Chain A
């Protein structure tokens, strides 16, 4: 069965960076794009970007360009999302989500459990 297991909650100071991991199992990791979506407390969903686990190619939402880096390690079927220069409004639950289709369709059928990142001085 497909599973995405994310790393644990983080507390960071403003200006710091955070790196969240997402370990995939139950399917061919390199066959499906991985997306990252975040949700601030009490707010809606916000797409951050995608990574092609096969090639490592990435595409980021304009809002996060220059601050986000998505990478992967195919040897351990794990995707990473690093966000730098953190601000208080980056406090959110960060989700990894697998693309529904082999390749990239832009819809998400499996999600990680979420990682709460709190940015506070």
Chain B
């Protein structure tokens, strides 16, 4: 299986900050990467697919970039609603795998 490694595991930030989360794949996955946001007690929500395509209804402050093995999720100006855990997920191989998650906390 393709291993997905996210960093950092926890991130402390303030409202208005620019936040970047990194995801690395153990082998090339082209652009077959998605990002999800999850809040406590809730199901994950799709934010980004195909590395950089914004899902319908997702605010434009979220953006994704990268290809091959290195990817980033950027929140341009952190809002109160954005404090959550973020997961990357590869879908290059038939067996899908998630990163370990990055918790974005209030500083």
A interface residues, Cβ below 8 angstroms from B: 35, 44-47, 59, 61-62, 95, 97, 100, 105-109, 111-114
Q: Which residue numbers of B lie inside 8 Å of A, CB to CB?
A: 1, 32, 34, 36, 38, 43-46, 49, 55, 87, 89, 91, 94-101
Knowing that A44-B87, A62-B1, A108-B34 touch, tell me 18 more A-B residue pairs with CB under 8 angstroms. A44-B99, A44-B101, A45-B38, A45-B87, A47-B89, A47-B95, A47-B98, A59-B95, A61-B1, A100-B46, A105-B91, A106-B34, A106-B91, A106-B96, A107-B34, A108-B46, A109-B55, A111-B44
Known: A107-B34, A107-B89. A47 touches B96 (CB 8 A): yes
A-B contact pairs, 27 of them (CB 8 A): A35-B96, A44-B87, A44-B98, A44-B99, A44-B101, A45-B87, A45-B89, A45-B98, A45-B101, A46-B98, A47-B89, A47-B96, A47-B98, A59-B94, A61-B1, A61-B96, A62-B95, A95-B44, A100-B46, A106-B32, A106-B34, A106-B91, A107-B89, A108-B46, A109-B46, A112-B43, A114-B43
- Assembly CA distance A107 to B55 (angstroms): 11
Majority secondary structure of chain B interface residues (helix, strand, loop or mixed): loop
